Structure 1
Amino acid sequence: MFHFAQPNYLFLLLLVPLFLGLFYYSNLVRKRKLAKFGDYELLKDLMPNVSQTRQRIKFYLTLAALTLIILAIARPQFGASTESVKRRGIEVMIALDVSNSMLAKDVSPSRLEKAKQMLSKLSESLSNDKVGVIVFAGEAQMQIPLTADYVAAKMFLSSIEPGMISRQGTAIGSAIDLGIQGLSTNAKTGKTIIVITDVENHEDNAIDAAKLAAEKGIMVNVVGIGTPEGSPIPAAGTMSYKKDLSGNVIISKLDEQMGKEVAAAGKGMYVRADNSNGALKALTSSLDKLATAPVESKIYSSRDEQFTTMAWLAFFLLVIEIAILGRQNKWVNRFKWF
């Protein structure tokens, strides 16, 4: 697959039509000035060594060389290769709650932003592991299947917003079920599902789903985001908060008891994320205790750089341009080149 590694430099190609226009404009001005001295066709006989054709060819060669140089610095690349490597690591499936209640600000800067910050730091501690990402609200959706590409996973995490799932709710059970399906069947690999949620308005049997995961050797860890006291939910695009049908402001509260029950059923741990790094340290410690086994991953190798080809072509065009004299030469003129 062909692409440019630094496409921003392609904007320099706008110089090509600019130079082309200036060249034709300068020729037009020169002809108008010569016309003041007489008929242009008659004046050409008084300038036998002047070759307009040579001037045009030299200009086109220079312009072509400039185009190739711009393409070269944009680093054209062709093809891609991947290779399978075996690493010793674990499999981590992250299930992140993106329901509207995650916009509450009882944890700074908000529940969702705090979760994203924590996951970003967690991804930096992973090495030789595979990670996947699920988002859920009233339903669960797989966003990134298991991968060793932490950079792509981290970039995706930063773009997560509540609007990704239109159906509202907190379907923790569905997220765990989807996480089970997304993990491999390698019995020797340590596997875990990390559910990050405010554990509010659960719509399915999350405890049974966690038990099923434990039976399959998958540990379910739950990170509670928020506070038991709760906080109002900001209404998008306004300065007010969400209200119920009676006009009362809705207070979203963290259900820690349910979070602990789900974690216990999944033979994992429950930890509440606050404005400290305690939850992150607890998660990292838990992952370190998981057994590791060889994990086969397809990793991106490299693309074939093509800029050298462009650079050499530009060089040869410039050599030819220099070799062509701007004026006719009596020795060279013996040969009818142009």
Structure 2
Amino acid sequence: MFRFADPNFLYLLIILPFVVALYLYSNYRRRQNIRKYGDPTLLKHLMPTISKYRPDIKFWLIFAALTLVILMLARPQFGSKMETVKRSGVEAVIALDISNSMLAEDVTPSRLDKAKKLISRLVDTFNNDKVGLIVFAGDAFTQLPITSDYVSAKMFLETINPSLITTQGTDIGAAIRLAMKSFTPQEGVGRAIIVITDGENHEGGAVEAAKEAAEKGMQVFVLGIGSPDGSPIPSERGSNDYRRDKDGNVIVTRLNEQMCQEIAKAGNGMYIRVDNSNSAEKILNNEIAKLSKADVESQVYTEFDEQFQALAWLILILLIVEMLILERKNPLFKNVRLFK
């Protein structure tokens, strides 16, 4: 396994093309100046010790050394072996509703954006746990398989929007059934299915799916997001126009708390109302902390060895060779044709 311990230094590689461009421009200006003094072919015979190629070779040696210096600063490392590490944690699969109704703005900035921020903060609290991410509307699919890579989880979270699923609707049952298949086969670990939705279940079967999950030892937590009073759905983000039905009436979406509560009860979990405060996040964290923790196995590379020594030797060799190459031809080696 190869990695850079300080990858931010790799941004310095951006300067290398400018260094090359500056050198090429300098060569161009030098040739232009030589032409001002006379014919280049005649001047070449008048200056027999001047080498055409040695300056270029010296530059590219320095350029290579500079490149290696940047790579060395980034601290290249090799992982010498992979180990199975056991950590005590739980497994959580988050099912996020991305139907169009989640664009309603009865919570700030919108139901979907509020849910994404909540998930991001939830992932920040995870330590030795595993998390998976499912998105659903009229259908459900896995956005991120269950993993302990929290960086990837937050990266995938940023890309979520209603356009990911063309089939509109809200099939909570499909999301729960997919979540049940997403856990690892390891025994003894606490498992939570966290459904974040406005509760407008158009397909049915959600309560039955939650009950099945509970029978398999999984707890279903439902986070209801939105207002029971309802809110119109913007036609697009930042628009002042709203979605309308076939009769031209503005569509109003309402949080179905009764449905959310029924699903949570059947799933042996808890219903939590999400508003503009952080209370829902705190309640959920406390409930997940109560889940039984088991030794969660994960494969990691260990014993990362620093590789900067090899680069340092290469840099030293390149600089020594550059110093030994003179820009002018050496009369003592005039018969040696390494460089013209």
Structures share fold, TM-score greater than 0.5: yes
**CA–CA distance in structure 2, aligned partners of residues 219 and 86 of structure 1:** 23
Q: Deviations over 1:181-206 (max 9, x none)?
A: 00123331111100000011431300
1:15 has 2:18 as partner: yes
- How far does residue 235 in structure 1 lie from its aligned partner after superposition? 0.3
**CA–CA distance in structure 2, aligned partners of residues 42 and 82 of structure 1:** 64
1:158 has 2:158 as partner: yes
CA contact (8 A) 1:58 1:321 kept: no
User: After the TM superposition, which of the residue ranges 141-150 and 207-216 deviates more from structure 2?
Assistant: 141-150
**CA–CA distance in structure 2, aligned partners of residues 233 and 94 of structure 1:** 24
CA spacing shift, 1:171–1:43, aligned 2, 3 Å:
same
Equivalent residue, structure 2, for 1:51 = 50
CA spacing shift, 1:116–1:306, aligned 2, 3 Å:
same
Correspondent of 2:58 among 58, 61, 76:
61
**CA–CA distance in structure 2, aligned partners of residues 17 and 2 of structure 1:** 29
| Uncovered stretches (5+) of structure 1, i.e. residues with no partner | none
Correspondent of 1:70 among 67, 90, 94:
67
Alignment of 1:198-213 (within 5 A): 198-213=198-213
Equivalent position amino acid for 1:15 in 2? F
Equivalent residue, structure 2, for 1:94 = 94
1:167 has 2:167 as partner: yes
- How far does residue 127 in structure 1 lie from its aligned partner after superposition? 1.5
Alignment of 1:214-253 (within 5 A): 214-236=214-236, 238-253=239-254
CA spacing shift, 1:41–1:107, aligned 2, 3 Å:
closer
**CA–CA distance in structure 2, aligned partners of residues 36 and 266 of structure 1:** 90
- How far does residue 266 in structure 1 lie from its aligned partner after superposition? 0.4
Equivalent position amino acid for 2:105 in 1? K
CA contact (8 A) 2:214 2:266 kept: yes
Equivalent position amino acid for 1:158 in 2? E
CA contact (8 A) 1:77 1:303 kept: no
- How far does residue 124 in structure 1 lie from its aligned partner after superposition? 1.5
- How far does residue 33 in structure 1 lie from its aligned partner after superposition? 4.2
**CA–CA distance in structure 1, aligned partners of residues 277 and 241 of structure 2:** 28
Equivalent residue, structure 1, for 2:43 = 40
Task: Determine helix, strand or coil for the equivalent of 2:21.
Answer: helix
Equivalent position amino acid for 1:59 in 2? D
Task: Determine helix, strand or coil for the equivalent of 1:179.
Answer: helix
CA contact (8 A) 2:62 2:322 kept: no
User: After the TM superposition, which of the residue ranges 254-263 and 2-11 deviates more from structure 2?
Assistant: 2-11
- How far does residue 215 in structure 1 lie from its aligned partner after superposition? 0.5
The alignment yields a C-alpha RMSD, in angstroms, of 2.9
Count of matched residue positions in the alignment of Structure 1 and Structure 2 = 331
- How far does residue 247 in structure 1 lie from its aligned partner after superposition? 0.7
Task: Determine helix, strand or coil for the equivalent of 1:52.
Answer: coil
CA contact (8 A) 1:10 1:70 kept: yes
- How far does residue 34 in structure 1 lie from its aligned partner after superposition? 4.3
Deviant stretches of 4+, over 6 Å = 1-4, 78-81, 302-305
Alignment of 1:322-337 (within 5 A): 322-328=323-329, 332-333=332-333, 336=336
Q: Deviations over 1:152-203 (max 9, x none)?
A: 1122223311111111111100000000000123331111100000011431
Q: Deviations over 1:225-283 (max 9, x none)?
A: 00100100000164200011111101100000000000000000001001111111111
**CA–CA distance in structure 2, aligned partners of residues 34 and 323 of structure 1:** 30
Task: Determine helix, strand or coil for the equivalent of 1:272.
Answer: strand
**CA–CA distance in structure 1, aligned partners of residues 95 and 301 of structure 2:** 25
- How far does residue 84 in structure 1 lie from its aligned partner after superposition? 2.1
CA contact (8 A) 1:69 1:311 kept: no
Q: Deviations over 1:61-87 (max 9, x none)?
A: 232321342354154958766532111
Q: TM-score, normalising length from structure 1? A: 0.87
Task: Determine helix, strand or coil for the equivalent of 1:59.
Answer: helix
Equivalent residue, structure 1, for 2:261 = 260
**CA–CA distance in structure 1, aligned partners of residues 40 and 230 of structure 2:** 91
Task: Determine helix, strand or coil for the equivalent of 1:283.
Answer: helix
CA spacing shift, 1:289–1:76, aligned 2, 3 Å:
closer
Equivalent residue, structure 2, for 1:117 = 117
**CA–CA distance in structure 1, aligned partners of residues 98 and 283 of structure 2:** 22
User: After the TM superposition, which of the residue ranges 84-93 and 320-329 deviates more from structure 2?
Assistant: 320-329
- How far does residue 120 in structure 1 lie from its aligned partner after superposition? 1.2
CA contact (8 A) 1:242 1:249 kept: yes
- How far does residue 337 in structure 1 lie from its aligned partner after superposition? 6.2
Equivalent residue, structure 2, for 1:29 = 32
- How far does residue 128 in structure 1 lie from its aligned partner after superposition? 0.8
- How far does residue 300 in structure 1 lie from its aligned partner after superposition? 5.6
CA spacing shift, 1:314–1:34, aligned 2, 3 Å:
farther
**CA–CA distance in structure 2, aligned partners of residues 270 and 244 of structure 1:** 30
